[in-house]
Structure 1
Amino acid sequence: MAMKNLLGTGVFNWKGNSIKIRSELGALDALFQATGKDPLTLLQTATSQMEMAELFFHLQYDTAYTREEIYAGLFARLDDFLSEEFQMKLAKCLADCIGTELVEKLEPAEDTQKK
């Protein structure tokens, strides 16, 4: 019996550019070899444009974009990268890739205990 594929695929679209990423074992290993960082930790903690370009380069699925193409097409414009819309789309893509639920409310719940 063949194993079922449970890998999630994240799709990121921004201003006419699109890329799919997937957390396949070989791609995660290549990301580790390139960065020396645990790939799943990097997926959850990457914050810079360069880290994102490197991450997307190694995890891309069904494409063969260069690092430069990924950086220029998705991450080079700081004003885009810092926008709330961009960050929400990026968070959803990464969550889909690693199979986690996207937290809708990013702020912690208010403390309702009386002091």
Structure 2
Amino acid sequence: MQRERQAYEHAYGGLHRDLCDLEVRVEELRNDVINRRLRVSMADVETMALVLSRSSITCRHMRGNFIYSNIFRLVRFLKEEPELLENALRRCKKLTGTLVTLKR
């Protein structure tokens, strides 16, 4: 679980960095178009759109994998753990009974 958390944080750091860089580049391009009346290079826009598309896919993938896999684990834990504890309690009671009998 800890390794997955670290992998998630690493991936999120990369995603956050990519989005920050993209926001800066888009804002600079927007300002150049508005203030300097420069023409936009379609290659630049397509490159930015590709980065945005990859970031969106990464975000959806991270959300799906991290959140749902952890929820699945927690649900499984909540279903299985009480049964395991009940089984352990039955074993303790049986051993207690055996030890009481042996003491007599």
TM-score (normalised: structure 1): 0.23
The structure with the largest alpha-carbon Rg is 2
TM-score (normalised: structure 2): 0.25
The structure richer in helix per residue is: 2
The structure richer in strand per residue is: 1
